Structures are given as C-alpha cells and as structure tokens.
Amino acid sequence: MLLFACDRSDQQIKVYRVSKAPLDATLSADATMPTNASSPSSLPLAAPLTPITAIIPPNWEPQPLSQMRQASFLVHGENGAVADISFVTLGPSAGNILDNVNRWLAQLAQPPIAADKLAGTVQQLPTARGDIAIVDITGQPENGDSSKDGRIIGAIASDEGRIAFFKMRGNSALVGAQKENFLKWVSSSRGANSPVSTTDLATPPANSDKPQIKWEVPPGWSPAATSAMRYASFTSETNGEKADISVVTFAGDGGSDADNVNRWRQQIGLPPAEASALNSMMVPVRAGEISFSTVDMAGATARVVAGWTRHDGRVWFFKLTGPKTVVEQEKPKFVKFLQSVRF
C-alpha cells in the first residue's frame, strides 16, 4: 500500500486525444471522448454502426460525424434560424417510444405524457424499413434561444434489434418548413440489410473505425511501440545502428507538401528548400493503384526517406529515418514496403 502511495497517477504525464467537434447535448458524448490511444486503432467504437443511405435535401449542410452520429446536418433559415438534424442508432436499452418521447418533451420543458396519450402524439410513417414512429413537439426551454430551439420532430424505427433515431431540433418555424424534407429523408433511408439504391451520405467517417490499410513488412524489420501520433512503427538494426520506420495518418490533407518536406529537412539539420526545387526532389512511386510521392534527403549525420499519399480523406506518411549508413541499406526494403501498400 505504501508503494502504491508513491506511484500516484496524479503525478504522471498523460497523453490522450479529443475531438474538436462540440459535444452533442442530446445524442452522444463520444465526440470528445479521450482515447488515451497509441494509434487510431484504439479509438473506442461506441456502438456497431448501421449503414444508412438516404436522399439528402440540397440545403442541408453535412457536419462532422461522431461515433454515434452516423449522419449530421445543419440547415439555416432567415434571421439566424438554425435546425440540427441527426441520425443515430442505439441498443435495445435506449428505451421504448414513450421513454424517448418524454425525454424529448423534457428537453423542450414540456411535461411528460402517459402511455395512454402516446397514440395521440405519435403518428406512424410507412417506409421501406417498416413503420416509423413520428413525433412533432414544440416548447421553449427556460432561457432557450428561439432561433435555435423550440421544436423537435423525431422519428424512431426498430432496425435489426437496434433503435434508430432521426431527429430535427431547432427554430420552430424553420423545423416546420423543413418537415417535408425531413420526412422524405426518413422515408428514403435504408437499414443495414437493405439494398443501397439511393445517394450515399457524402460525409466522411470522422471517428469511425481504424482506417483500412494493408502492407507487407520486409524481413528484418521488428514492430516497435506505437505512440499517440503513430499508426505503426518498425525498427531495423544494422551493426548496432537503428533505423526508425513510422507510419502516421491524419484526416484531411495533412498540410502542403512543401511544409512537410521542409519540416523533415529541419529535423535532419537541412535548410528549407526553395519552392522551385521541391518538385524536382519528389519522386513518384507506384503501389498498385496508389501513387506515392517520395523524397530522399540526407543531412550531416541523419537521412530521411519519406513517402506519402492521400486516400479517402486521409493522408498517410511513411518515413524511414536514421543514420546515413543504415538508411542506405534499408531504403530498398522501404520502397518495397511502400509498393506493398493496399487500401
């Protein structure tokens, strides 16, 4: 016990990642959950995702997704009016229709209804995925902003043992004006096992699952500990000298090629390259249908060989770093490693 006392967790440095997306007040907290992750693979999955396809009205603006929000939109009206539209699925413990209708009523500062009043509040919408319960409620929470709140139209569907929630909440007039679009969106949605026949949701998977990628690790490379920044790490040792091979991925484009190349140059003690010289430094490497840009740069003692590609809304950086001699020896393996990459 006394030893435990000497190793207090409040005296240790912690590293974790949080989403930049704001927490959703009504659906899910997962968006800013820390992962304490060593790689993107450690991002916790909140619940099995149900694929959804649906017809999206053109004035709905796609928003970043979270692990629970499988679709998220904002729609803007006049005078700053806003409505928030979301789709999420939860397990059977999400409660019955009455529980959820009362939860939404509470969010609009309305009293709960009894079970015998439910039939008068809920309408059934026949769709390809079966009857969906539709509820349309109004109310203004205390100190609520009427431009952003005042009405909820919700839809609740049973979907392969899970409960699917469609919800539009926002300015009362705007929600009313968008009700037809919302019901079309709900009607056109398809469940997990339905054939995909309509427009796919065009929003990228924000925090969904580990990005899918395959490669062949060359002989002689040993897996190394990943870090919060690294998707994968390897080392190779020759005559007591180690080369470090890292795979890093980020959502987005990962910055300009010039910035990245100059950052690596700085890391090995080289001055920034002129913009005109950058193109001549980059050599393309093909890996099936994937095209990598690569650079090979040597400083006084260290050398970097790096390759990068952008795929499906992410950028992937592969980097071989170490003393000149060992990098020279490992470079052919590194190029083969790049050529083995498949998404």
135-164: contacts with another protein (CB under 8 A): 141-144
- How many CB atoms neighbour CB 2 within 10 A? 5
User: Exactly one of 80, 130, 252, 288 binds another protein (CB under 8 A); which one?
Assistant: 252
- How many CB atoms neighbour CB 72 within 10 A? 25
Binding region for another protein (CB under 8 A) out of 182-190, 191-199, 265-273, 282-290 = 265-273
Q: Which residues, 6+ apart, have CB-to-CB distance to 301 below 8 Å?
A: 269, 323, 324
Looking at beta carbons only, is 158 or 340 nearer to another protein? 158
Looking at beta carbons only, is 180 or 237 nearer to another protein? 237
In the complex, minimum distance from the CB of residue 126 to another protein, in angstroms, rounded to a whole number: 26
Closest CA to 56 of 170, 203, 154: 203
Is 93 among the residues that bind another protein (CB under 8 A)? yes
Binding region for another protein (CB under 8 A) out of 62-70, 78-86, 127-135, 170-178 = 62-70
Binding region for another protein (CB under 8 A) out of 54-62, 132-140, 166-174, 263-271 = 263-271
Binding region for another protein (CB under 8 A) out of 3-11, 120-128, 172-180, 214-222 = 3-11
Q: Which residues, 6+ apart, have CB-to-CB distance to 64 below 8 Å?
A: 19, 21, 31, 72, 203, 206
User: Exactly one of 110, 147, 227, 340 binds another protein (CB under 8 A); which one?
Assistant: 227
In the complex, minimum distance from the CB of residue 325 to another protein, in angstroms, rounded to a whole number: 14
Is 50 among the residues that bind another protein (CB under 8 A)? no
Q: How many residues bind another protein (CB under 8 A)?
A: 71
Question: Longest Cα pair distance anywhere in the chain, in angstroms?
Answer: 81
Residues 56, 138: contact at Cβ < 8 Å?
no
Please report the sign of the dihedral spanned by the C-alpha atoms of residue 27, residue 32, residue 37, residue 41: positive
Distance CA 176, CA 85 (A): 13
Is 34 among the residues that bind another protein (CB under 8 A)? yes
Binding string, residues 282-311; x marks residues near another protein by CB under 8 A: -----------------x-xx---------
Distance CA 178, CA 111 (A): 25
User: Exactly one of 41, 59, 96, 106 binds another protein (CB under 8 A); which one?
Assistant: 106
Name the phi and psi angles at 83, rounded to 5: -135, 145
Residues 36, 14: contact at Cβ < 8 Å?
yes
Residues 186-215 binding another protein (CB under 8 A) are: 206-207
